[in-house]
């Protein structure tokens, strides 16, 4: 099992443990997306490639569900995401604006 706790598990609250598990899931879904991307890029068999593309699409869904769950738990993260994701324009500039929004 991947090392998902960096503090003694017994000291972590149940919500923090759930958060850690969902973060780990997000990481694993991102890895799966990456692995399929690489496999698809080298696979010569068209049918095999179609299956992998279908599987990768599922991983996009899993990743997005994990992300949405996590964003709903963290207001600052949600605010940042709202100001960066699906926004036109320069990503770095949008990030700087997003940072201003969470400055206390
Ligand atoms: Fe998955």
pLDDT tens track for 32-72? 999 999 999 999 999 999 999 999 999 999 999 999 999 99
Distance from Cα 59 to the centre of ligand 1, integer Å: 4
Distance from Cα 2 to the centre of ligand 1, integer Å: 16
Q: Distance from CA of residue 102 to its chain's centroid? A: 20
Distance from Cα 20 to the centre of ligand 1, integer Å: 17
Distance from Cα 62 to the centre of ligand 1, integer Å: 5
Distance from Cα 101 to the centre of ligand 1, integer Å: 32
Percentage of residues in the chain with pLDDT exceeding 90? 92
What is the pTM (predicted TM-score) of this model? 0.91
Domain residue ranges of the chain, discontinuous segments joined by +: 9-73, 75-104
């Amino acid at each position: 099992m991947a090392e998902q706790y960096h503090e003694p598990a017994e000291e972590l609250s149940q919500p923090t443990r759930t958060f850690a598990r969902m973060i780990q899931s997000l990481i694993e879904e991102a890895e799966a997306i990456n692995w399929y991307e690489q496999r698809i890029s080298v696979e010569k068999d068209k049918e095999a490639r179609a299956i992998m593309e279908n599987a990768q699409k599922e991983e996009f869904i899993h990743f997005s569900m994990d992300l949405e769950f996590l964003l709903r738990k963290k207001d600052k993260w949600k605010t940042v995401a709202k100001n960066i994701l699906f926004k036109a324009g320069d990503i770095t500039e949008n990030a700087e604006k997003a940072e201003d929004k969470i400055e206390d």
